[in-house]
Chain A
Amino acid sequence: MSLKGWRDLPPAGVILEAGNASKYKTGTWRSIRPVWDVSKCISCFMCWLHCPDGSILVKDGKVAGINYDYCKGCGVCASICPKSAIEMKPESLFEEGEK
């Protein structure tokens, strides 16, 4: 993606488009990642309720996984889960193209 120059940007960092935070993928900030185990999950939605980034995916009224585009790896979901269905793992385990 090519970035705009100073002449083409609205001044003062004002954002003229509503709801564009979704374009800023903050998942790269994560150092540990929640890994969700579907077999243990009872879809109680405690993780969905507590996630500060709205990164718990829901489908057909059930928890369906984690949106890694925005999850910053805070670990609240793993901490709150009553069934230990979410485990925090180091991001280094998921790196590609290394080793």
Chain B
Amino acid sequence: MSVLLSVRDLAIEYGSRRGPVQAVRGVSFDLEQGETVAVIGESGSGKTTLAIGLIRLNPRSARVTRGEILFADERGTENVLDMDAETLRRFRWQRAAMVFQSALNSFNPVIDVWAQFLDTARAHGMDDARAVKRRARELLDLVHLDPDRVLRAYPHQLSGGMKQRALIALSLLLGPRLLILDEPTTALDILTQRQVIDLLRDLRRQLGFSMIFISHDLSLAAELADRVLTMYAGRIVEEARVADLFYRPRHPYSVGLLRAVPRVSGELGALASIPGSPPDLVSPPSGCAYHPRCPFAIDRCRIEDPPLGPVDSPGHAAACLRWQAVAEAVGTREPAKAL
């Protein structure tokens, strides 16, 4: 298996009146071809900044202060951060496509859907309108939409779910190897969420692209992800295969997230949430950024900021000095029962 995307020590900050906000503080991970990785975290963890940063779409006030984003597909290997404006523009959508949280507002309201498909194709050198039309219809069929109806329509004439699916079809127009999705199911109702999840799984099977998706929804990770990255205060605090994360979490934050999900079956327990609030990213806490809210914290945690280190399963890493204590507390049963 070859590596498609390799992020090395990426740091992104943006300016604010009080000083630079360090939204991403040294993130590294690899994404293999055909793999799906979920980036999970609460609001303010930096996950959206990270996702947008992968295609350098951050607002003007943002700056990448260090790191590399290496992208390797059939066309070659390059550092996204080094690309000039034109290369970057062609890189976007052709090799890596990003679908936003508000697919509801990802379409230009005053031109019809077909025009937006054509715009996208033309921007990447596909000038043959008929060929584009054919491809668009194929893709819309693939996402179970009626091509005639959708292409002729204006965005406001489509429902939320239809727009999301149309956007997914559009994202595949140029055959990208990487699909980045930011909160793909958040704004949708339960039934539509199910449709979109199944659709993504289907498409992935058929077309074999890699996916990174950002969410705060753990169930989505459980459904679709091969691996999960937990993000806190701009850092990755745990990296694991999906089963390992759910059954054998090793970072207190991951444990907290898992516990916070209310259970559908079993007894009615109290709603658990992580006490405290997300850290101030202008001046993050000393040592481990999570220590103020961590039930496992000891004095050392206030001083040392642990890097991602291996824990007791292969391919599993956690940025915690006390991961063994966490392992003991969790055991090998479901975390919600253990604590």
Whether chains A and B associate is: no
* B residues in contact (CB < 8 Å) with A: none
